[in-house]
Chain A
Amino acid sequence: NAGVTQTPKFQVLKTGQSMTLQCAQDMNHNSMYWYRQDPGMGLRLIYYSASEGTTDKGEVPNGYNVSRLNKREFSLRLESAAPSQTSVYFCASSEGQLSGANVLTFGAGSRLTVL
């Protein structure tokens, strides 16, 4: 099983360029998440999608947009990249049941550098 797959694994952008990070899961999970990981700041939630057709802002949504394309896919777009968006980005998914303790399954991460 692939689990959660992110592409690309590495990307270098110039300031002002745009790009989309792709994420797909094959576990039939309802909820999907995008986090960024920065030294000393841990994992911060950018956006999440509780279920297909819905998206909500997390802690640090500015400068990002997301699309829940279908149940499997959740993409993160940087419209005009800034050096402050240099980070490692993680996609995650969970069953998304309100009644239980949802466990996150993570992708391998995407390292983005903005020059």
Chain B
Amino acid sequence: AQRVTQPEKLLSVFKGAPVELKCNYSYSGSPELFWYVQYSRQRLQLLLRHISRESIKGFTADLNKGETSFHLKKPFAQEEDSAMYYCALSGPLTYKYIFGTGTRLKVLA
């Protein structure tokens, strides 16, 4: 069964500290992994996707098929990074799109 697990409900870090939001998944086949972000009073929006291998707002995520993980990382957190982050999974042969339970990131001054 498809499943996305985000073990941390809340992650608090100080400004300038490194950040890692964990995401593990379960999927039979080759998944497509995404990170979405919801800033306060804004719509849920795409942050990055593994297929693009991009860095957005200093965030990166590497797909580790052996550990079935797609952790989101940033070397130096900023206060504006405070938001709700969702890891999501889809697949090349399905339209189904599954989200994890989300991690709220709080960056403290």
Chain A residues proximal to chain B, CB less than 8 Å: 31, 33, 35, 40-45, 48, 50, 56, 58-59, 90, 92, 94, 96, 98-104, 106-109
Q: Which of A31, A42, A100 contacts B99 (CB 8 A)?
A: A42
- CB of B51 within 8 A of CB of A104, answer no
B98/A45 in contact, CB under 8 A: yes
How far does the Cβ of B31 sit from chain A's closest Cβ, in whole Å?
A: 10
Residue from A40, A56, A59, A100 whose CB has the most chain B CB atoms within 10 Å: A59
Question: What is the CA–CA distance of A103 and B98 in the complex, to the nearest angstrom?
Answer: 12
With a CB–CB cut-off of 8 A, which chain A residues contact B44?
Answer: 43, 90, 92, 104, 106
Of the candidate stretches B12-20, B65-73, B74-82, B85-93, the one touching chain A is B85-93
A41 touches B101 (CB 8 A): yes
The answer for the CA separation of A4 and B36 in the assembled complex, in Å, is 16
**When A and B form their complex, which 8 residue pairs have the shortest distance between CB atoms, in order from nearest?**
A42-B101, A43-B99, A50-B95, A101-B51, A106-B44, A101-B32, A42-B102, A106-B43
Task: Enumerate chain A residues within 8 angstroms of B95, measured Cβ to Cβ.
Answer: 31, 48, 50, 56, 94, 96, 98, 102
A103 to B90 Cα, complex, angstroms = 10
| Contact partners of B98 in chain A: CB under 8 A | 45, 59
Shortest C-beta distance, A50 to chain B (Å), equals: 4
The B interface is mostly helix, strand or loop, or mixed, namely strand
Rounded to whole Å, the gap between the CB of B2 and the closest CB of chain A is: 9
Q: B12-51 vs A: 1/0 string, CB under 8 Å? A: 0000000000000000000010101000000111100111
A101 — which chain B residues lie within 8 A by C-beta?
A: 32, 34, 49-52, 90
State whether A43 and B86 are in contact (beta carbons under 8 Å apart), knowing that A103-B49, A108-B43 are contacts in the complex: yes
* Residue ID in chain B nearest A42 by CB atoms: B101
